[in-house]
């Protein structure tokens, strides 16, 4: 066993229960094992940064992992709520339209989705959106044109089913 392995094993044996208890006290048993595993994975990757005594440092790492998990969960819940609000409707026509748009959007490459979202949902001009993605306004306009075309092709099945679909040349400029 190498010195690093021995040191890590000693830290793990000495601190795992206390880190686990800390996480349980903050977030419950459901997430404790995952957070403790991530905490010690970070400790292994950054073993040279782990001071002696290691417990305060490990508790700080566990706190950060918990914070990141909470942020990710909040983002997931917000996205799920937003998607539910898009798909819940009393009128079948709107549901069909939204589902068709979401399906077509989901099938696009990530770069096309981002391009359309920046312009259509975030309301940015092509010049502003170009700054966000780090390209020239002319390059962004080309990307936007191509993304609109691919999106419009993705909407064709919904249009054939009778749903109203957005005219991207007029509505998403």
Annotate 46-85 with DSSP letters as a single string.
Answer: TGGG--SS-HHHHHHHHHHHHHHHHHHHHHHHHHHHHHHH
One domain for residues 95 and 71: no
Q: What is the pLDDT of residue 65?
A: 92
Q: Which two tokens stand for residue 126?
A: 């092509």
Q: Residue 29: pLDDT band by 50, 70, 90 thresholds?
A: confident
Residue 112 lies in a domain: yes
Total of domains in the chain: 2
Which range is least confidently modeled, 28-32, 46-50, 147-151, 162-166?
A: 162-166
One domain for residues 120 and 66: no
Q: Report whether pLDDT(10) > 90.
A: yes
One domain for residues 58 and 123: no
Q: Mind listing the pLDDT tens digit for each residue in 62-79?
A: 999 998 888 888 888 887
Q: How far apart are CA 146 and CA 53, in angstroms?
A: 57
Q: What is the pLDDT of residue 173?
A: 45
Residue 142 lies in a domain: yes
Q: What is the pLDDT of residue 70?
A: 83
One domain for residues 96 and 139: yes
One domain for residues 64 and 111: no
Residue 85 lies in a domain: no
Quote the pTM value: 0.47
One domain for residues 71 and 95: no
Q: What is the pLDDT of residue 168?
A: 55
> Among all chains, which residue has been given the structure tokens 């993605």?
133
Residue range 92-97: mean pLDDT, rounded: 63
**CATH number of the CATH domain containing 14:** 1.10.1740
Q: What is the pLDDT of residue 170?
A: 45
User: Domain of 35?
Assistant: 3-79
Q: H/E element holding 117?
A: none
Q: What is the pLDDT of residue 75?
A: 83
Q: Report whether pLDDT(60) > 70.
A: yes
One domain for residues 70 and 105: no
One domain for residues 105 and 75: no
One domain for residues 165 and 96: yes
Q: Among the three residues 79, 110, 126, which one is the final residue of a domain in this structure? A: 79
Q: Report whether pLDDT(158) > 80.
A: no
Q: Report whether pLDDT(105) > 60.
A: yes
One domain for residues 101 and 141: yes
One domain for residues 103 and 123: yes
Q: Among the three residues 39, 58, 79, which one is the final residue of a domain in this structure? A: 79
Q: Which of 81, 80, 86 is nearest to 98 (CA)?
A: 86
Residue 21 lies in a domain: yes
For every residue of 1-32, DSSP letters joined together read --HHHHHHHHHHHHHHHHHHHHHHHHH-HHHH
Q: Report whether pLDDT(45) > 90.
A: yes
One domain for residues 29 and 99: no
Residue 84 lies in a domain: no
């Amino acid at each position: 066993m190498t010195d690093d392995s021995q040191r890590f094993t000693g830290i793990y044996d000495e601190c795992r229960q206390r880190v686990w208890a800390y996480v349980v006290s903050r977030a419950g048993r459901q997430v404790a094992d995952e957070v403790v595993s991530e905490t010690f994975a970070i400790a292994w990757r950054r073993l040279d940064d782990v001071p002696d005594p290691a417990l305060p440092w490990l508790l700080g790492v566990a706190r950060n992992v918990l914070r990141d998990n909470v942020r990710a969960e909040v983002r997931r819940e917000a996205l799920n709520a937003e998607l539910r609000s898009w798909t819940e409707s009393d009128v079948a026509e709107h549901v069909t339209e939204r589902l068709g748009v979401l399906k077509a959007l989901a099938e696009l490459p990530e770069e096309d989705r981002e391009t359309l979202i920046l312009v259509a949902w975030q309301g940015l001009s092509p010049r502003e959106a170009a700054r966000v993605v780090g390209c020239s306004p002319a390059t962004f306009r080309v990307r936007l044109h191509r993304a609109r075309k691919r999106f419009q092709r993705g909407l064709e099945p919904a249009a054939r089913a009778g749903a109203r679909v957005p005219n991207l040349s007029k509505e998403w400029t």
